């Protein structure tokens, strides 16, 4: 790509040709002091809905930067409809989980609280920050949605029946691998989701309720017991390779 070497930024402002965009606070600081960009430099800008645009820095002042949107480089393209449902883990590993699965194309994050979830609160603002950074880095044009922490019962009761649920279950026979199951059913679904439990897994009652959901499929990620962030990354990579193409 002609402009692929240009720095790439996300903005929540609308984008169209010949309009101005202002960067203030953290965005301005990052552009000016971290990336050390100057007036007349070119960057790429996207907002998750209007595609990607070539943008010229018109002026950098002490507390703000003024940018001019010049031309559209890419039309908006959305990622496959993949949800990740997971039990929250400690902050550092949760950040890794969100970053890597954003890069792999997750469209919606749904944290759930199970009987064995040890984390009581999820910092949604911090998750969104990690999601935006990963989206900027991975060249995706849309920004995943992250929901508030959901109780397990509410997750079960609100589950949409037209969506495939790949339940990563440590007790599943290894011959029921996630790859073989996706290949078996991929023509049946356009809406996908992956469910990852807490470090202690799901209780027997929770597991029973999950398996009773329509279009729920228990799958194995192999013979090793994986941490949540590793399991989510492995599962998303498998699904992305077989569905995103």
Domain count, the chain: 2
Domain that holds residue 161: 81-243
Residue 149 in any domain: the answer is yes
- Whole-angstrom Cα distance, residue 245 to residue 242? 6
Q: What percentage of the chain carries pLDDT values higher than 70?
A: 97
Verify that 116 and 216 share a domain, yes or no.
yes
Q: 7 pLDDT band (50/70/90 cuts)?
A: very high
CATH number, position 59? 2.40.240.20
Please determine, for residue 13, whether its predicted confidence score (pLDDT) is greater than 90: yes
Verify that 12 and 31 share a domain, yes or no.
yes
- Whole-angstrom Cα distance, residue 176 to residue 211? 15
Kindly report the pTM of this predicted structure. 0.91
Verify that 22 and 107 share a domain, yes or no.
no
Which segment of 39-43, 86-90, 99-103 scores lowest on mean pLDDT? 86-90
Residue 130 in any domain: the answer is yes
Residue 194 in any domain: the answer is yes
CATH number, position 167? 3.40.1280.10
- Give the model's pLDDT for residue 198: 82
What are the backbone dihedrals phi and psi of residue 79, each rounded to the nearest 5 degrees, phi first?
A: -75, 160
Please determine, for residue 40, whether its predicted confidence score (pLDDT) is greater than 80: yes
Verify that 49 and 104 share a domain, yes or no.
no
Residue 102 in any domain: the answer is yes
CA 49 to chain centre: 15
Verify that 99 and 217 share a domain, yes or no.
yes
Instruction: Report the candidate in 23, 215, 127, 239 with the shortest Cα–Cα distance to residue 9.
Output: 23
Verify that 47 and 104 share a domain, yes or no.
no
Verify that 38 and 139 share a domain, yes or no.
no
pLDDT tens readout for residues 107-137: 999 999 998 888 888 999 999 999 999 999 9
Beta bridge partners of 166: 194, 217
Verify that 86 and 56 share a domain, yes or no.
no
Verify that 114 and 229 share a domain, yes or no.
yes
What are the backbone dihedrals phi and psi of residue 74, each rounded to the nearest 5 degrees, phi first?
A: -145, 140
Please determine, for residue 8, whether its predicted confidence score (pLDDT) is greater than 70: yes
Verify that 178 and 61 share a domain, yes or no.
no
What is the pLDDT of the chain when averaged over all its residues? 92
- Give the model's pLDDT for residue 70: 97
Residue 3 in any domain: the answer is no
pLDDT tens readout for residues 55-83: 999 999 999 999 999 999 999 998 899 99
Residue 2 in any domain: the answer is no
Please determine, for residue 162, whether its predicted confidence score (pLDDT) is greater than 80: yes
Where a domain ends, among 74, 100, 115? 74
Where a domain ends, among 74, 108, 124? 74
pLDDT tens readout for residues 168-225: 987 766 668 999 999 999 999 999 999 998 877 888 999 999 999 999 999 998 888 8
Residue 208 in any domain: the answer is yes
Where a domain ends, among 35, 53, 74? 74
- Give the model's pLDDT for residue 170: 75
**DSSP 3-state assignment of 163?**
coil
Instruction: Report the candidate in 12, 16, 4, 76 with the shortest Cα–Cα distance to residue 42.
Output: 4
Residue 1 in any domain: the answer is no
Verify that 215 and 126 share a domain, yes or no.
yes
Verify that 121 and 158 share a domain, yes or no.
yes
């Amino acid at each position: 790509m002609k402009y692929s070497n240009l720095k790439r930024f996300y903005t929540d402002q609308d984008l169209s040709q010949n309009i101005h965009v202002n960067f203030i606070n953290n965005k301005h600081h990052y552009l000016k002091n971290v990336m050390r960009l100057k007036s007349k430099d070119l960057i790429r800008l996207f907002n998750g809905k209007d595609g990607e645009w070539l943008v010229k820095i018109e002026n950098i002042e002490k507390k703000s930067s003024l940018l001019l949107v010049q031309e559209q480089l890419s039309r908006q393209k959305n990622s496959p409809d993949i949800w990740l449902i997971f039990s929250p883990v400690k902050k550092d590993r949760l950040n890794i989980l969100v970053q890597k699965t954003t890069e792999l194309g997750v469209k919606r994050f749904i944290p759930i609280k199970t009987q064995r979830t040890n984390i009581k609160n999820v910092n949604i603002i911090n998750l969104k920050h990690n999601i935006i950074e990963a989206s900027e880095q991975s060249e995706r044009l849309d920004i995943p949605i992250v929901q508030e922490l959901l109780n397990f019962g509410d997750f079960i009761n609100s589950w949409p029946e037209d969506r495939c649920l790949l339940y990563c279950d440590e007790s599943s026979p290894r011959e029921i691998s996630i790859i073989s199951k996706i290949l078996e059913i991929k023509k049946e679904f356009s809406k996908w989701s992956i469910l990852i439990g807490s470090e202690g897994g799901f209780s027997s009652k929770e597991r029973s309720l999950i398996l009773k959901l329509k279009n729920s499929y228990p799958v194995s990620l192999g013979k090793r017991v994986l941490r949540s962030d590793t399991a989510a990354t492995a599962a998303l990579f498998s699904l992305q390779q077989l569905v995103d193409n």
